[in-house]
Amino acid sequence: VQGQASGSAAPADRAGTYALVTEQVASLLEVCPGPVAAMASAAALLKDTFDHFSWVGFYLPAADGSLVVGPYQGPLACIRLPAGKGVCGAVATSRRTVVVPDVHAFLGHIACDTRARSEIVVPLVKGGRLLAVLDVDSHLPDAFNTDDKHGLEAIAERLARGWPT
Ligand code: SME
């Protein structure tokens, strides 16, 4: 139907699927020699597992406080997000997960993909240092629930804890 959001549904057992993916990420970390391999592998695994994700990837803090795009899966995205701007900037500052059910209602949302309707951003923090933010977009409105929040936070925590250096 014209005007209706495209995108596919989340798996029926979202929490169970996240538990499996978290285990897979833990296994991947054992063989990843560096953070790029870990982020690229996690992004590929997440994008291929969850049909309600249109874009998934990482933004990394730069010396000037901006965020620079890292490994991701999905359509071409913004390369650099100015310090403190957008959903990612808000999460980099607060270091708390932000769920945005409607991107058009989030003041300062940065639209890399005009089809994106909802978003979730989770920080990766280790020893008080922000390593990255994990960003997920969906073409569906209100695509992310508490299972996504808890699941993505568990994956971010696992990645941060095992961050290969
Ligand atoms: N929407 C994000 C920008 C990154 S893209 O979604 C990939 C934001 O507002 O920070």
Ligand 1 atom nearest the C-alpha of 110 is 9
Ligand 1, residues 58, 68, 112: which to mutate, most atoms within 8 A of Cβ? 112
Distance CA 140, CA 24 (A): 26
The whole-model pTM stands at: 0.95
For residue range 58-106, what is the model confidence (pLDDT) as tens digits?
999 999 999 999 999 999 999 999 999 999 999 999 999 999 999 999 9
Nearest to 135 by CA among 157, 150, 152: 152
Return mean pLDDT, the chain.
95
Nearest to 133 by CA among 14, 8, 43: 43
**Any ligand 1 atom below 6 A from CB of 88:** yes
Ligand 1 atom nearest the C-alpha of 55 is 7
How many C-alpha atoms does 135 have within 13 Å on its Cβ side?
32
Chain-centroid distance, C-alpha 78: 14
**Any ligand 1 atom below 6 A from CB of 112:** yes
